[in-house]
Structure 1
Amino acid sequence: MSWFKQIKQQWLGLIVATPALVKVLGFFSIWVVCWLPIAIPLAHWLSWHPLQPLQTSQKLYLITSLYLIAPVIISGAIRYSQKFWSSYGVSLTNFTNILISLVIGIALALGGLAIAFLLENALGWVDWEAESWLKLVDISIPILLLALFIGACEELIFRGFIQTELQEDYSPLIATVITSSIFAVSHLVWEWDKTLPEVPGLWLLGVVLTQARWVNGGNLSLAWGLHAGWVWGLTCLDTAQILVYTGKGSEWFTGWGGNPLAGGSGIFCLLLTAVAIQLLPFPDPLPSMPQVMTMVRGLTKDREVG
């Protein structure tokens, strides 16, 4: 078996010495190759062809099948590069901190959206459909679960794997610029004509999410919460058709096609979030769940003794 170990060490050395951009390109290539055997029959089952516009239900099936493969590929990359999940911002050693950062991220995302749309309403650019609020009761939980799934996968891929790999060859700033560019351009794959005006906003979104990882000590949970919160809030508003654009505001501000990321309101929301996560005093590291349980047992024993 010595020859096998020798070959393995040579391969590991080759992987480590490979330039970061080549690793990223290799990741996307393997990802697509692994997905195609699933995507082709799935597209046939959905009666969809590449040149046809995607319906929402078709897009969800395709995205879900694509994103489920990514963690498997990253797991293989971790194994052969001799890294750890924590290298890519995934650490489950302190579930309490993860949960709190996730909730803070969701709250900040929803708060930023609320401020942006309330300002637009005050300026007369949007109106609210009062009757549509009732629809949120039925759709909010399913959309939240979907948003958490999409946020987790995209953060692991972009702010986790790609950002970390690029930082091995580039400064964090340059790596952020490249990662955010890849993140923005990758969204053109599905509906490029609708997504093209969003590219600058998507790029800034990627930068803010990378900032969230830095602020959170390298963990992805805050970025995950922000990403999920934005997807949740915007999808709920769109699905329930709560917002009605009056046409009084320029699309340069409200967003082209009613999409905030394609206009000034979305940029304002992202910049506001960037300031918030940089200035808000995040709590000191909280005790882990085992530590919490130990403290609870200690208090219980003290009461019994008393």
Structure 2
Amino acid sequence: MIDTNKIANYPFLLRVIIFLLILAAIWLPVAAPIYLLVKDSNLATILTMGLLFAEFVFLVRRWGKQVYGQTQLLTSYGLVNTRQNGFELLIGLAIGISITFSLFVVQGLLGFVSWQNSDNLPRIIAEGLLSALGVGFAEELVFRGWLLDELQRDYNNQISVRANSLIFALSHFIKPVEAMLRSWPQFPGLLLLGLILVLAKRNCQNRLGLSIGLHAGLVWGYYIINIGELVRYSGSVPDWVTGINGNPLAGAIGLLFLSVLAVGMRQMSERSKGRSD
């Protein structure tokens, strides 16, 4: 048996492995029957991923209490129920969807895409918002909450930020080798996005609202455009310009827009640091 009182003194990688093994041990016995019994693969994925996140939240709370002696670990991650955090979430949502649509508007002006009509747009907008908020909330709690906290317990700020961004990018990029080779331009975009989301949290005194909203806004905007089939690519430029497989993160224009957003977040960080000094 592992002495939970000693886990806090283990190195970062060992702590993370122990946490993930415990999570897998809790999740797999329930998830496996779902995959076997539910014929609809999409429904099975939704159920098992929802279950995984619920168990993650349960385990994090126990982890904080048993390993670190902290009863409010989620609060220390930046998940706080305040008006300011909610306002920052809305600001992030607005920025994220604005950046996404601006990217495609620019491509339309340049003749790279043409805009199309969609018959189910209201439903797609509503579905996209719910899905995006779920993705943004879950991924930010995992990456900018739990993972960043574990990194900061062992490493300085610079290393923690870089490692967090790298792990975030790798976790979204790892797939069959053929697919990775085909979509390799996506990796720099994922790295930059990871950095932006860490900066978003730091700019709000480590509250998660802005990073959740920003992440959700980017997902929401792309969901509306992609699922709604609102644009058609003209093929006038190579895919690496507009995005491999239609993914803006895997294209030069998407990387340019993310770079502008990163500069904005960096300037915001420097201004807030100056005010605190």
Quickly name the TM-score band, shorter chain normalised.
Answer: 0.7 to 0.9
Aligned partner of 2:56 in structure 1 is 70
Structure 2 vs 1, CA of residues 215 and 17 (structure 1 numbering), >3 Å: closer, same or farther? Answer: same
Q: Which runs of 5+ in 1 are unaligned?
A: 1-6, 49-54, 285-306
1:164-179 mapped onto 2 (5 Å cutoff): 164-179=149-164
Structure 2 vs 1, CA of residues 62 and 267 (structure 1 numbering), >3 Å: closer, same or farther? Answer: farther
1:89 aligns with 2:87: no
Contact kept, 8 Å, 2:12 with 2:150, in 1: the verdict is yes
Q: Which runs of 5+ in 2 are unaligned?
A: 273-277
Contact kept, 8 Å, 1:109 with 1:273, in 2: the verdict is no
What is the aligned residue count?
Answer: 265
1:1-16 mapped onto 2 (5 Å cutoff): 11-12=4-5, 14-16=6-8
1:194-205 mapped onto 2 (5 Å cutoff): 194=179, 196-197=183-184, 198-205=186-193
Contact kept, 8 Å, 1:116 with 1:268, in 2: the verdict is no
1:185 aligns with 2:178: no
Which structure has the greater CA radius of gyration?
1
Shift of 1:190: 6.8
Q: How big is the alpha-carbon RMSD for the aligned residues of Structure 1 and Structure 2?
A: 2.6
1:259 aligns with 2:247: yes
Aligned partner of 2:199 in structure 1 is 211
1:152 aligns with 2:144: no
Q: Any idea what the Cα deviations from partners look like across 1:61-106, whole Å, max 9, x if unmatched? A: 44333222211111111111122322211222xx210111001101
Question: Structure 1-normalised TM-score?
Answer: 0.78
Structure 1 CA distance for aligned equivalents of residues 47 and 18 of structure 2: 24
**Secondary structure class of the residue paired with 1:187:** helix
Contact kept, 8 Å, 1:126 with 1:245, in 2: the verdict is yes
Structure 2 vs 1, CA of residues 259 and 60 (structure 1 numbering), >3 Å: closer, same or farther? Answer: farther
**Secondary structure class of the residue paired with 2:114:** strand
Residue 140 of structure 1 aligns with an amino acid whose one-letter code is: I
Structure 1 CA distance for aligned equivalents of residues 204 and 179 of structure 2: 33
Structure 2 vs 1, CA of residues 107 and 15 (structure 1 numbering), >3 Å: closer, same or farther? Answer: same
Residue 151 of structure 1 aligns with an amino acid whose one-letter code is: G
Q: Comparing 57-66 with 225-234, which one deviates more in the overlay?
A: 57-66
Contact kept, 8 Å, 2:34 with 2:44, in 1: the verdict is no
Structure 2 CA distance for aligned equivalents of residues 62 and 247 of structure 1: 38
Aligned partner of 1:37 in structure 2 is 29
Shift of 1:173: 1.7
